[in-house]
Structure 1
Amino acid sequence: MKRKAEKQQAAPLSAIAARRARQQQAQNVTASEKTPEAQVGGEPPSKKPRRSLEVEETTAADRTTRTRSAKNSEAPVKISDGPSRATRSQKPAVQPPAHVVGENIEDEEPEEDGTTAIDEEDVPSTAGDPDGYESPAETPAELQNFPLSKGRLNKGNIVYGDDSTLCVRIKEKMNLALLGQYDLWVKRGVVSLMGAKLHPSARLHRVYAPSTHSLPVIKCVSGVDGEAEVEIKSCHSGIARLRDLSPLYQKVWNGNTTAADKLSLKEATKDSRRTFSVLYTSADDSMKRHLRPLHLEKKWSTSMKALSLRHGRLRVLVCGPKASGKSTFSRYLLNHLLSPAPETETGYTNADGVAFLDLDPGQPEFAPMGQVYLAHLRSPFFGPPFTHPSLDDSENGQMVRAHLIGATSPKEDPDHYALAAMDLMDHYRSLLARYPQCPLIINYPGWIFGQGLEVATWLVRCLGLSDVVYMSEKGPAEVVDPLGLSAREARVPMTILPSQPTDFVSRSSAQLRSMQIQSYFHISCPTGLSNPVWSSAPISRTRPIVVDYAGDRQGILGIMVVGSQIHSDLLREVLEGSIVGVVAVESPHAVAGEEMDLEQPNGNASLADSIVRTPQEDLPHLLTGSGSCTPLDPKTSHCLGLALIRSIDINSHKIELSTPIPPSQLRESMEQGQNIVLVRGQLDNPKWAISEEYHAARAAERRYQQSVSRPSNENRLAEPSDQEKKHSQTLALLRGRIRRASNVPWMTVVEDNSRRQREVTARREKSLWKLRKKAYPGSESETDWQ
């Protein structure tokens, strides 16, 4: 029984580890016959899952490879022509090297949309990543044929279809799972989608369903004659073109036309292809990915219905361990509250929207990493966070206020984190003056142990909540008991729900953050369009914003570096090529004292008195505290967004910034007398920005080679024609662009990515001098050289 229970806690490995496991089992027939098929548990354990002996044996080689990979995490940016693994690198103050994975395109078959099919190994594995999900992740398993849709399309339920549109009738209690991106129009009946009940209206709902997350399911709730009628239309937002800039965006959307698609495309042209595909099972996917439908636990649905009955009085805090489904539950609850249901159905209509207080700086829902914010939303959102990395202040939603934490975890400065949360809560109370029936959803991070538990219990007692939801039935008791005690003291009901982990993940948490921040820097919201669009131009080819940091036209007040002590002489090296927060300072007394107190922050220091000019560059270094920077007071400052510092020109005293912040927002802040401060935190380094030009150059060469027909063997011996010479010249120009793109700082192109070459690189890096800190009891931060 014990052996069986251990196997049930395991979950599938990546494609690489699974293949290695199958090879080892083929060599040892006896061992493979005795190894039963592993099963996935319904909820991840509170601690690291134990594994059976068979699993330990089959993953030994994979652990060795991951260990070698982790040692190479500090190497220069490597662009290789083969697969690589994701590693977690440290975050020094100076810009470290990045790591880029290229692909060999010579012998690959193009997909129907003009892209190149890549293998699962081309995307770094999530196994062994400390920043990855905490779901069980060590089971060798074959690709399962998992059911996705409950029902099949036929001539009777297909109303019409062409090369971009599909109109179908869905019977009650039936559903359809789609992969890709599309606009959904409900014509008859009522359907549910990601927690929202969509009634017939003239509105189109934009849906993003990538393979990186569980697929949303369109389900018929009620209909005319037992059927609902919906129209699904292709959309071209440009987000799919980000695959030309990063391997993480490859193999994300729908592939070749499925059998269900062909049934409605008979009268269309031969090369017709929509931006979405209907899937009955995971075997219908041409790329053979681990696809799963997005379904809710029954207890989740019951809890959401009970919470929604509070209407405008709802103030709910959603918390729990990592990877327990907090973000999914919050997103479902948000969509449920924002469903445009007629007043006649429930006797209540939500005209004031929903306030969303996101306290998770590591994986925020409507903002890039490193921020906590308060958003006022009016329409449901259908898609993962990287499909809405910012709000455009439209009728769908707007950002009320945001604060820069400067890190992916609040544990770096919990006092500043608590002050930011209280300030956002004050702005929610101000929002209630205009929208008195606006409910509140608070998303708390997975930082629920130790000091994080203290902050969570303090928030429960101070925020005036109506409900607390804890997302794990397995405890642990040292977390649930103090949280429940705080809820009882505040007279707030606490609901404990089962977690809903993801069985298969193709991207780690760090990779999803990279995708979200890259999407943030490429998104735009043109006037007149109800949905955002993405640009596939590398960030190095976009026009930057040039700001004076000294002189009569100085545009920024100062530059801060939080989280570490940086000497002013190194400020330029720290800033160039880094991500900074653009913070608007509302008062000259925005420095919150050296020792911040949660009750009475000291705001007597002046920013102008804390600025030190660097001797060489004349940069305005904002220093507070004992040689470091304490964060700005959240009551007198707020974050406008993030920016990438492309270069610093010391001759003209100008800084080049790339930022998606609208110029009108910056102009409005300056007109209100607010000063701009750039804050360098401890965010993940923008490796994606360094490699964008290289991947774009490779994609341009690939598209050109696919568009030009190759000459036959007989024509190769003949004299080349003028057109062939022109093709050769164009190809030479494209390859020259690739060479130039590969010769940039912090990046090295590795042509040979074989195991032997990786071992040589590991031995070379192992012989380098490294600083090691002694960590035995009694040591006093001593260092030695090894």
Structure 2
Amino acid sequence: MKRKAEKAQAAAPVSAFAARKARQQQAQTTAAASKPNVAEPAVEPPPKRPRRSLEEAAVPPASEENRVQTRRSSRRKEEQLKAEKVEKAEKATQKTRNEQPPKINQQVSEAATPKASEDQAPSDEESEEQDVVEDTNVIGLEAIQNDEEGYESPADTPVQVQDFPLSKTRLNKNNIVYSDEHRLCVRIKEKMSLVMLGHYDLWVKRGVVSLMGAKLHPSSRVYRVYAPSTHSLPVIKCVSGVNGEAEVEFKSCHSGIYRLKDLSPLYQRIWNGKNTAADKLTLKGASPSAKRTFSVLYTSADDSFKRHLRPLHLEKQWSSAIKSLSQRGGRLKTLICGPKGSGKSTFSRYMLNHLLSPAPQTETNYYNTDGVAFLDLDPGQPEFAPMGQVYLVHLRSPVFGPPFSHPSLDSARDGTIVRSHHIGATSPKDDPDHYVLAAMDLMDRYRALQASYPQCPLIINYPGWIFGLGLEVATWLVGSLGLSDVVYMSEKGPAEVVQPLGQAAHQAKVPLTILPSQPTDFVSRSSAQLRSMQMQSYFHMARPSNIDNPLWLEQSLSRTKPFHVHYSGPQQGIQGIMVMGSQIHPDLLSEVLDGSIVAVVAVESPNAVLGHNSGPMFANGGNSAGSHDDPDADRDVDMGDSTDAVPFAGSSTIESSITRTPNEDLPYLFVGAGSSNPLDPKVTHCLGLALVRSVNVASRQLELVTPIAGSTLRGALEQGHNIVLVRGLLDNPNWAISEDYYAARAAEKRHRELTEKLKKNKDAAAEDATLEAEKQVLKDRIRRASKVPWMTVVEDNSRRHREALQREKSLWKLRKKAYPGSDSEGDW
């Protein structure tokens, strides 16, 4: 009887809905069996959500459960008599859904994300302190949406932040070794991780930890780590330890990079905010005002600024590829290419750190003593140089931080720039021939470097210019550079890119590795803003000779003592001034040059202009710089006035192409027909960038603000090289124009906070006159700073007013907002 009952139950009629669910369940079970190697996101949460189209972002995606309930409600109307069977089928489906492959679970978790995180631009302009928010509430939404505008402010659209897990380790009295106001030493168990926000010095005392691709072993070496909110936060993970634990010390560092927030809103609220729960636990017994330069975060909800924070996890396919490529040792010469935003820079950074890990030995018994060569061919987002440069750098130790934390490299311990060329633009598409010649010259320099470091591998970072002519250049480089590997950072193709690239790799007998892209969805700075941050960091960074790590100076460029360089007369220090692109009238050279960014190029030969016939050879070893390495010393440079000067053997090719402007007597260097021919990379190299602060016609001098050391300039001149200034097509230095304004606002804010503090302590009565006088001085300072050319302070921040100003804006106009609550708000 029981078997008959079971047969009768099996033969009972089933609704169409239940039958459909049974078929879906069977298909999903089959798919799960065919894909057993999919990573479980519950073990390692995905660092970033995949990109969505505008249509998907406009309509919040409904979850799978809502869709099932919608079908169920419609089915109930049609089949009310079979409601119980429908509910049973749904419960079975729900149970099966919980056992589905991780890919389905990931889609459900993404659908549960709040709508505000999908259709609004992320921002770290939020704070629990309203006056801090108002202090930097400048126009920034359009800067995220319209990258070409390049407004000097981050996005200010409030968004709802998702509670995202960051650290797997929870601090307690058992794993805290010691802590005070400056240091924190903790034990991290194997396969556990810890995430910090801010900047700090890391010292591995016991065990082995991984950080941004590098495996750090116990040693006396201390590593400087920069972890701002503008990028995914690095994860400190214990790989192996003593008794299953690694012991790591974190120490506050004061490099001065946080002071740049007084010069630009782009640097505001990118470091750690108020103390987190973990900080308060480790600061017990310290003063209530104690605060380190880093904070321990368990989840993104611990952040007091409520920013979109994500850990920097690596795709498993990326990790496998890095391990496979690193086994080639000194024979590795790989080109990393792919579309924009695919993660090329992140992959290159991980690869560099992995090869530079100071491990005693690796699995292949290869120990890197010759460093790693990095050929950066991306002038739009360079790693170790300001924008507009392609360069070859020789690295000796891993680097932990975003590009604006190392905008230049000149340290014997970390690495040096072997050779650099100024492209003069963020994309090589305007002059691909010059770009290819620069790349080939840098490759020749790498071959020369191998004579001293035979086991030095090479990593080449190619820009996102991978379509059309960029693809032709990439395929030509694959067949010409003698590579060992090619890595393409996108599994989605397109086929018209992958096929020619694969064909070129096949002809060159080079393996092509295709990896999935890892795009960044949650960004608080646009590409133009990150370039501005890197350029500003470059001009404010200093490298004292007795300190290993760089320092940043918060003094605005207008208050920095410049180099005074003669451009005419017997003490002429520069040979010529070149403007890349279309030819300009000589009368306009002074206006084009004033307030612009120029490259300081050393010319090694008179035949330095491409497309120009050679002239008589000459030796010019007489120029010498009178500048000093001391930043406080007099920086007047009389390049060219020396008793050891070697006379010219004849007029050089460059000098024969120079035209003097009629009014200023500027040496305008132009060769070409309609557009300027660039300098030949084989006989020229870039020393760095400079900001032309003014053109003094009376004294025939240029005032240049540059971080280039005086020893570098003297070394180039002592080798007989001439100096040419090249004005490229880089972004306008809006960040430099507005530095005084933001510095004045920051000074007024500090004064206002001091006044409020004195009032609370009832000490303001005796200082009323002094405080009022200082207040008036600060108001006058803000007023003067707001009236510089090409900048307009905007009080009305409404959308209608912004759109009206946008229609009237000129090329150089910045739009800044006087923050509400300012004492000087109504005095403009």
Counterpart in the other structure of 1:659 = 706
Counterpart in the other structure of 2:503 = 485
Match of 1:742 among 779, 786, 806: 786
Per the alignment, in what secondary structure is the counterpart of residue 177 of structure 1?
A: strand
Q: Deviations over 1:554-609 (max 9, x none)?
A: 0000000001221111000000000000000000111110799xxxxxxx981111
1:396-407 alignment runs, 5 A limit: 396-407=414-425
Q: Deviations over 1:471-501 (max 9, x none)?
A: 0000000000000000000000010000011
1:298-447 alignment runs, 5 A limit: 298-343=316-361, 346-447=364-465
1:215 equivalent in alignment to 2:233: yes
Task: State the Cα distance separating 1:503 from its structure 2 match.
Answer: 2.2
Tell me which of the two structures has the higher relative contact order, counting C-alpha pairs closer than 8 angstroms and 6 or more residues apart: 1
Counterpart in the other structure of 2:528 = 510
Counterpart in the other structure of 2:750 = 703
Per the alignment, in what secondary structure is the counterpart of residue 324 of structure 1?
A: coil
Task: State the Cα distance separating 1:142 from its structure 2 match.
Answer: 3.6
Unaligned runs of 5+ in 2: 1-23, 25-48, 71-101, 104-110, 615-650, 811-828
Q: Deviations over 1:106-150 (max 9, x none)?
A: x9446xxxxx786787654654234699xxx9x997421000111
Per the alignment, in what secondary structure is the counterpart of residue 635 of structure 1?
A: coil
Per the alignment, in what secondary structure is the counterpart of residue 621 of structure 1?
A: strand
1:633 equivalent in alignment to 2:650: no
Contact 1:118–1:250 (CA<8 Å) still a contact in 2? no
Q: Deviations over 1:502-537 (max 9, x none)?
A: 120000111000000000000000011110000000
1:723-742 alignment runs, 5 A limit: 723-742=767-786
Per the alignment, in what secondary structure is the counterpart of residue 677 of structure 1?
A: strand
Per the alignment, in what secondary structure is the counterpart of residue 456 of structure 2?
A: coil
Question: CA–CA distance in 2 between the matches of 1:345 and 1:471?
Answer: 26
Per the alignment, in what secondary structure is the counterpart of residue 747 of structure 2?
A: helix
Match of 2:797 among 753, 756, 762: 753
Counterpart in the other structure of 2:466 = 448
User: Could you tell me the percent identity over the aligned residues?
Assistant: 66
Counterpart in the other structure of 2:694 = 647
1:463 equivalent in alignment to 2:491: no
| TM-score calculated relative to the size of structure 1 | 0.81
Match of 2:588 among 560, 564, 570: 570
Per the alignment, in what secondary structure is the counterpart of residue 274 of structure 1?
A: coil
Contact 2:327–2:364 (CA<8 Å) still a contact in 1? no
Match of 1:612 among 647, 651, 659: 659
Question: CA–CA distance in 2 between the matches of 1:739 and 1:118?
Answer: 16
1:129 equivalent in alignment to 2:137: no
Counterpart in the other structure of 1:694 = 741
Counterpart in the other structure of 2:75 = none
One-letter amino acid of the counterpart of residue 664, structure 2: E
Per the alignment, in what secondary structure is the counterpart of residue 312 of structure 2?
A: coil
Task: State the Cα distance separating 1:629 from its structure 2 match.
Answer: 1.7
Question: CA–CA distance in 2 between the matches of 1:287 and 1:104?
Answer: 6
Per the alignment, in what secondary structure is the counterpart of residue 483 of structure 1?
A: helix
Total equivalences in the alignment: 674
Q: Deviations over 1:403-456 (max 9, x none)?
A: 000000000100000000000000000000000000000000000000000000
Match of 2:189 among 150, 171, 176: 171
One-letter amino acid of the counterpart of residue 459, structure 1: L
Contact 2:607–2:613 (CA<8 Å) still a contact in 1? no
Counterpart in the other structure of 2:254 = 236
104 and 653 in structure 1: CA distance in 2 versus 1, 3 angstrom threshold: farther
276 and 403 in structure 1: CA distance in 2 versus 1, 3 angstrom threshold: same
Unaligned runs of 5+ in 1: 2-7, 35-40, 43-50, 64-82, 86-102, 111-115, 597-603, 767-786
Question: CA–CA distance in 1 between the matches of 2:417 and 2:609?
Answer: 24
Task: State the Cα distance separating 1:9 from its structure 2 match.
Answer: 6.1
Counterpart in the other structure of 1:78 = none
Task: State the Cα distance separating 1:759 from its structure 2 match.
Answer: 4.8
Per the alignment, in what secondary structure is the counterpart of residue 205 of structure 2?
A: strand
Contact 1:118–1:251 (CA<8 Å) still a contact in 2? no
Contact 2:206–2:248 (CA<8 Å) still a contact in 1? yes
Counterpart in the other structure of 2:222 = 204
Per the alignment, in what secondary structure is the counterpart of residue 292 of structure 1?
A: coil
298 and 760 in structure 1: CA distance in 2 versus 1, 3 angstrom threshold: closer
Counterpart in the other structure of 2:244 = 226
Contact 1:123–1:248 (CA<8 Å) still a contact in 2? no
1:287 equivalent in alignment to 2:331: no
Question: CA–CA distance in 2 between the matches of 1:141 and 1:756?
Answer: 22
Question: CA–CA distance in 2 between the matches of 1:611 and 1:372?
Answer: 27
Counterpart in the other structure of 1:670 = 717
Aligned Cα root-mean-square deviation (Å): 3.4
Per the alignment, in what secondary structure is the counterpart of residue 229 of structure 1?
A: strand
272 and 161 in structure 1: CA distance in 2 versus 1, 3 angstrom threshold: same
One-letter amino acid of the counterpart of residue 756, structure 2: S
Contact 1:592–1:605 (CA<8 Å) still a contact in 2? no
Match of 1:258 among 276, 288, 309: 276
1:549 equivalent in alignment to 2:567: yes
Per the alignment, in what secondary structure is the counterpart of residue 753 of structure 2?
A: helix
Contact 2:372–2:456 (CA<8 Å) still a contact in 1? yes
1:146-161 alignment runs, 5 A limit: 146-161=164-179
Contact 1:126–1:506 (CA<8 Å) still a contact in 2? no
665 and 9 in structure 1: CA distance in 2 versus 1, 3 angstrom threshold: closer
Question: CA–CA distance in 2 between the matches of 1:425 and 1:583?
Answer: 19
Question: CA–CA distance in 2 between the matches of 1:757 and 1:132?
Answer: 16
Task: State the Cα distance separating 1:467 from its structure 2 match.
Answer: 0.3
Task: State the Cα distance separating 1:55 from its structure 2 match.
Answer: 9.4
Task: State the Cα distance separating 1:751 from its structure 2 match.
Answer: 1.9
394 and 186 in structure 1: CA distance in 2 versus 1, 3 angstrom threshold: same
232 and 714 in structure 1: CA distance in 2 versus 1, 3 angstrom threshold: closer
Task: State the Cα distance separating 1:762 from its structure 2 match.
Answer: 5.1
714 and 476 in structure 1: CA distance in 2 versus 1, 3 angstrom threshold: closer
Counterpart in the other structure of 1:68 = none
Task: State the Cα distance separating 1:10 from its structure 2 match.
Answer: 4.5
293 and 637 in structure 1: CA distance in 2 versus 1, 3 angstrom threshold: same
One-letter amino acid of the counterpart of residue 220, structure 1: C
1:8-27 alignment runs, 5 A limit: 10-11=51-52
Identify which range, 704-713 or 673-682, moves more after superposition: 704-713
Contact 2:191–2:239 (CA<8 Å) still a contact in 1? yes
256 and 12 in structure 1: CA distance in 2 versus 1, 3 angstrom threshold: farther
Counterpart in the other structure of 1:88 = none
Identify which range, 144-153 or 512-521, moves more after superposition: 144-153
Question: CA–CA distance in 2 between the matches of 1:219 and 1:336?
Answer: 14
Q: Deviations over 1:167-221 (max 9, x none)?
A: 0000000000110000000000000000000000001000000000000000000
Contact 2:189–2:246 (CA<8 Å) still a contact in 1? yes
Counterpart in the other structure of 1:38 = none
Contact 2:139–2:797 (CA<8 Å) still a contact in 1? no
Task: State the Cα distance separating 1:349 from its structure 2 match.
Answer: 1.2
Counterpart in the other structure of 1:269 = 287
Question: CA–CA distance in 1 between the matches of 2:149 and 2:478?
Answer: 28
Contact 2:196–2:296 (CA<8 Å) still a contact in 1? yes
One-letter amino acid of the counterpart of residue 262, structure 1: K
Per the alignment, in what secondary structure is the counterpart of residue 375 of structure 1?
A: strand
